[in-house]
Amino acid sequence: MPRPLPDPTPPSRATIRSLGQLGDRIRATRAGEGMPIDQAANHCGVSVGMMSKLENGKGVNLEHALRVMDGLGLTMLVVPKAHAGLLEEAAAHAAKMDKNAARERQVQFEE
């Protein structure tokens, strides 16, 4: 019997500072898409074991991590630490805009 999908709520911060945080973001993104791990691994062109290691914050080849992020619609942006605060604010604003747009779509659907 397949395990239930993990919590699709992405971590609150856009800045990733550890492999564990990267794994949490990847797992939440996959769950948000409703994809079981085997389906996501196949879609991203990696093994289930590799996907599992990545989601659990274990060290993986950067090429594999980039392949998984690309397959799940994520990207990595490398910037000076001094700019991280500005990017966090921008990411928070974008998330708020996404929530508002989703609410508007829901209201239109209900009408």
| Same-domain pairing of 88 and 40 | no
Both 49 and 5 in one domain: the answer is yes
Cα separation, 1 vs 68, in Å, equals 25
Q: What CATH number corresponds to the domain at position 26?
A: 1.10.260.40
Q: Residue 15: pLDDT above 80?
A: no
Please tell me the distance from the alpha carbon of residue 48 to that of residue 52, in angstroms, as a whole number: 6
Range of the domain at 98: 78-111
For residue 23, CA distances in Å to 81, 102, 111 come to 21, 26, 39
44-87: per-residue pLDDT in tens?
A: 999 999 999 999 999 888 999 999 999 999 988 888 888 878 88
Does 9 lie in the same domain as 61? yes
Domains: count for the chain: 2
Q: Are residues 70 and 108 in the same domain?
A: no
